[in-house]
Amino acid sequence: MLSVGLLAAASASLFLAVHPPIPGTELRHIAVPDPVLGRRNRTYEVMYPSLPATSTPLPAIFYFHGQSGTLADSNSFAELGEATGQFMTIAAKGLSEGLPDSSAWTVGAEGRADVCTQDCEAVVFPSCTRAGRVSRCNWATCYSDLAFIQLLLAEVRRDFAVDSSRFYAVGASNGAMLALHLAEALPGRFRAVVPWYGAYLRGQLPAAGLNGTSLLLLQGGKDRTIPEQGGESEDHYLYESSNATASAFGAANGCSATLEPLVHPFDNHPPHACVSRASCQHGIRVVFCDFPTQEHGFWPTWAESMTWWFLRTQVGAPPAARSVPAERG
């Protein structure tokens, strides 16, 4: 995996030209080095509003699509950003390595055999064969998505009028898993994460690293792909529960065990209930919304608006971002 020192050197060599903010949509490519697999070109898209609502730096939503998703999955957030002028949107693209319908994100579990059952059927990417990280639980690339996102963040900070204290990670399904992974792997870099129907794999629930990051977790009670109660999914992966995830964020941010109903300005279709942990530090909010009748992939008509409503109501100053350790294998 890529060490911090190597990543810093790569950043210095790759980021030489200064690119001014340009309203509209821009497709970008970045070469991400890997000491085992070599360089790999990665793709992301920046959507900057044509009429920013303020002359001050904008916050940024980083959107991560689900498995087999595309950059176009972020269009609804980009449209809201354009309509309001209140934020810019950055959409990153997962790797498929030529495998059909397999664009996916890694959360560092490739090669492990303890995050699925014996019945799981692996999808082994060529990079994992080359890196020797193969097990029945494989489903994604073995190129480092963490290294990719670190370089992407550095480029965005350098090139755009962006408020890096208000970086937000939003994702769906496998993209939600990545957003949760980034909250722990890049402590303090994201002010908030919003995972739609995502979870930590069993054994990956962090014991530390979540302080300074708010959480809005939205999950369907009938989801069998990533079960709300945790345990084995219909495709035989093993997950932590939504309650365990919210509890981990709450504990890391000094929240009390008291749960309070969250009142929000959106309707109750589909039916759901949101609860917020009380008395969190530094203005952090930890919210879990349960949609008891919904299966995997549900998306209310107000999903983007509620996501942004939660993100823009973040208050207070987060703790300073800490140094990032080398990625774990």
One-letter amino acid of 288: F
| pLDDT at 44 exceeding the cut of 50 | yes
What are the φ/ψ torsions at residue 45 (nearest 5 degrees)?
Answer: -130, 135
pLDDT: which is higher, 6 or 114: 114
In Å, how far are 1, 123, 129, 138 from 36, measured between CA atoms?
7, 20, 12, 18
Mean pLDDT of the chain: 89
Give domain 4-312's CATH number out of 3.20.10.10, 2.60.40.1120, 3.40.50.1820, 3.40.50.10890: 3.40.50.1820
Longest dimension (CA), the chain: 55
pLDDT band of residue 9 (cuts 50, 70, 90) is very low
Helix 75-84 and helix 303-312: axis angle, to 10°? 60
First to last CA, the chain: 7
pLDDT at 213: 95
Please tell me the distance from the alpha carbon of residue 145 to that of residue 37, in angstroms, as a whole number. 13
Structure tokens at 20: 């001014």
User: Kind of pairing, strands 40-48 and 162-172?
Assistant: unpaired
Q: Domain coordinates of the chain in residue numbers? A: 4-312
Q: Is the peptide bond before 20 cis (omega within 30 degrees of 0)?
A: no
215 neighbors 249 (Cβ within 8 angstroms): yes
Long-range Cβ pairs for the range 228-232 (8 Å, 24+): 228/290, 230/199, 230/202, 232/117
What pLDDT does residue 18 have? Answer: 41
Q: How confident is the model at residue 301 (pLDDT cuts 50, 70, 90)?
A: very high
Summarised one tens digit per residue, pLDDT across range 242-273 is: 999 999 999 999 999 999 999 899 999 999 99
- Give the pLDDT band of residue 22 (cuts 50, 70, 90): low
What is the value of pTM for the model shown? 0.89
C-alpha dihedral sign at 107, 58, 91, 198: positive
